[in-house]
Structure 1
Amino acid sequence: MDFWIIASVAAAAFQTVRFMLQKHLAAVTLSPAGATFARFLYSAPVAAAVLAALVAGGQITLPTLGVKFWSFGALGGAAQITATVCTVMLFGRRNLAVGMAFIKSEVFFTVLIGLVLLSEGVSAVGFGAIAVGVAGVLVLSGPIETKGTGWRRIISPSAALGLLAGALFGVSAVAYRGASLKVGLDAALARALVTLAAVTAMQMGAMWVWLNLREPGEVGRVMGAWRSAGFIGLTSMAGTFCWFTAFTLQTAAYVKAVGQVELAFGILGTVLIFREGISKREYVGMALLAASILGLILLD
């Protein structure tokens, strides 16, 4: 099995645990922005320390990072922050597994954004598999609302949040691949670590300023919840490192397609941890998304 597939599956597992912790913290302790900030506050210093130790020990020679690296990193970091806030808000409306299924629409957006930003696409078979996944998202969106006009009658607030998060995660995935490809190192793990340390440092700083301006006191609450928030940071760092490693080895669209195995992990979390039910319609929607994954990986 190719190493990028192993890294993608590991990233999905770590991300599922992080989403579960963020769902819990947002429900009982922190705001959506605070729960998002926790992942960066407790991961950025660790990533920076690991990189510094390897540079000091001579295992990594830190390369010059150009404007394109920082541009891709900043774009990906901003998109990921916004997407994570949308995700935490979504988990307040729907159960964990279905919320994660909405977010998995990111694979569709990743294909399109990858084509625009990096000129990386998929074959006709791949687009066919993606269409099956779109059907799954539509099934998951649930009954049409009776209030409002236009698109508000077609798409529910939960679906809107999930699709927005998916689109932004797609932007971040492609931007992170673009950034990692600009790191002048041969080893994929080294490129992933440099990208991780740089991006999480930018995200931590930006969110620290934002919270102090818009939600005074929330930074203190995040620090006060260090037992749970610390685990968010560690699982976030591990998951992001695995994502970045996969991005250095394969196009973002295929990495994210494999990462949709997270749906299976989400079902386990929904049933075993949160004791939430999943309807037959929701199972059908997730099954269509699972078929999309198999189509992208096995047929393309």
Structure 2
Amino acid sequence: MPIWVVATLLAGLFQTWRTALQQKLRGQLSVNAAAVVRYLYGVPVGMLFVTLYLALIGGSLSSPSWTYLLYCVLGGFGQIIGTNLLIMSFGHRGFAVGTAYSKTEAVQAAFIALIFLGESFHALAWLGIAVSVGGTLYLSMAGRVASLRDVLAATVQPAALLGLGAGLAFALCALAIRAATQSLDGTDPTLRALETLVVINMMQTLMQGSWLVATERSSIPALFRTWRSSSQVGVLSACGSACWFTGFAYAPVALVRAVGQIEILFTLLFSRFFLHERMKRSDIIGALTVVAGVVLVLLGR
């Protein structure tokens, strides 16, 4: 199995796990503070990954250029903006709609890469991207919309527009990260991905941390008071990002994100076996659709 597929599957698992743990921070930290802990506690973990990789696998650190640093800034800022837009969509009572439309990231990344980067995919890969995103949309909106007319009506809701904006920001973020890893002069794609993880997490800590200092200074002590839960979130966030970045280093963003839709399966399995929630028929249909889309992507890569 290609390394980017393994990395993407692990990324989905870590992201689902991190999201579950992050629920512990609700009520203890503000939205901005909860975002900062992902980066703040993720930096030392990323540094540890780089150190262990150099010790066990070998290699040498790359020499970053100004172009590389610019891509890192764009990637880190894009993730922050995408997260904020997604949270804003929830404020319009559109949690399901906002989340669903943010998952169009894979399709948006595919078109951006096609138009601006000249990346082309096999017809099966395009079909797989569409099917996997469609399955995720179905899972997110099943039971909430009764007809195609309702889906079209939901598309013009503020929650949907903000969700689409979030998907665009996440797509641009992923493309910037891929460009950053490719612009380094190192020969090992995995090491380049881990280096980029450390640099971007440091930048994000500075960017969102500065905003926190300027707007919510009273929240800063809580970042360290909740270190037990926050550090776990930071570790899982760093693990997930390391896997995403590795996937981007080896394969086109659209394919990585399409396979990454498998994350929804981990969410369903978590709810079934850990929260003991019953799976509905729509959950099974949507999950099988996502799997079918991922298989098509892998066949058409």
Q: How far apart are residue 87 of structure 1 and its match?
A: 4.8
| Contact 2:133–2:258 under 8 Å retained in 1 | no
In the other structure, the counterpart of 2:5 is 5
1:196 aligns with 2:235: no
Q: How far apart in 2 are the matches of 1:119 and 1:251?
A: 11
Q: What amino acid does structure 2 have at the position aligned with 1:298?
A: L
Give 3-state SS (helix, strand or coil) of 1:261's partner: helix
In the other structure, the counterpart of 1:271 is 272
Q: How far apart are residue 214 of structure 1 and its match?
A: 2.0
Q: How far apart are residue 239 of structure 1 and its match?
A: 1.2
| Contact 2:62–2:192 under 8 Å retained in 1 | no
In the other structure, the counterpart of 1:23 is 23
Q: How far apart in 1 are the matches of 2:157 and 2:29?
A: 25
In the other structure, the counterpart of 2:145 is 143
Q: What amino acid does structure 1 have at the position aligned with 2:29?
A: L
Which structure 2 residues correspond to residues 68-79 of structure 1 after superposition, within 5 A? Answer: 68-79=67-78
Gap change, CA 1:135 and 1:247, over 3 Å in 2? closer
Gap change, CA 1:14 and 1:106, over 3 Å in 2? same
Q: How far apart in 2 are the matches of 1:113 and 1:234?
A: 31
In the other structure, the counterpart of 1:211 is 212
Report how many aligned residue pairs link the two structures.
Answer: 293
1:250 aligns with 2:251: yes
In the other structure, the counterpart of 2:226 is 225
Q: How far apart are residue 262 of structure 1 and its match?
A: 0.8
In the other structure, the counterpart of 1:147 is none
Structure 1, residues 249-296: CA drift from partner, whole Å, max 9, x if none? 111111112222111101122334456666544554454444322222
| Contact 1:22–1:88 under 8 Å retained in 2 | no
Q: How far apart are residue 204 of structure 1 and its match?
A: 0.6
Q: How far apart in 2 are the matches of 1:153 and 1:189?
A: 40
Q: How far apart are residue 72 of structure 1 and its match?
A: 1.3
Identity of aligned residues (%): 32
Q: How far apart are residue 233 of structure 1 and its match?
A: 0.6
1:106 aligns with 2:105: yes
In the other structure, the counterpart of 1:48 is 47
Q: TM-score if structure 1 supplies the norm length?
A: 0.82
| Contact 2:95–2:159 under 8 Å retained in 1 | no
Cα RMSD, aligned residues only: 3.4
Which ranges in structure 2 are unaligned for 5 or more consecutive residues? 147-151
Q: TM-score if structure 2 supplies the norm length?
A: 0.82
Q: How far apart in 2 are the matches of 1:90 and 1:274?
A: 26
Gap change, CA 1:101 and 1:296, over 3 Å in 2? farther
Structure 1, residues 58-86: CA drift from partner, whole Å, max 9, x if none? 94433321122112111111111222344
| Contact 2:197–2:242 under 8 Å retained in 1 | yes
In the other structure, the counterpart of 2:294 is 293
In the other structure, the counterpart of 2:149 is none
In the other structure, the counterpart of 2:171 is 170
Q: How far apart in 2 are the matches of 1:53 and 1:128?
A: 39
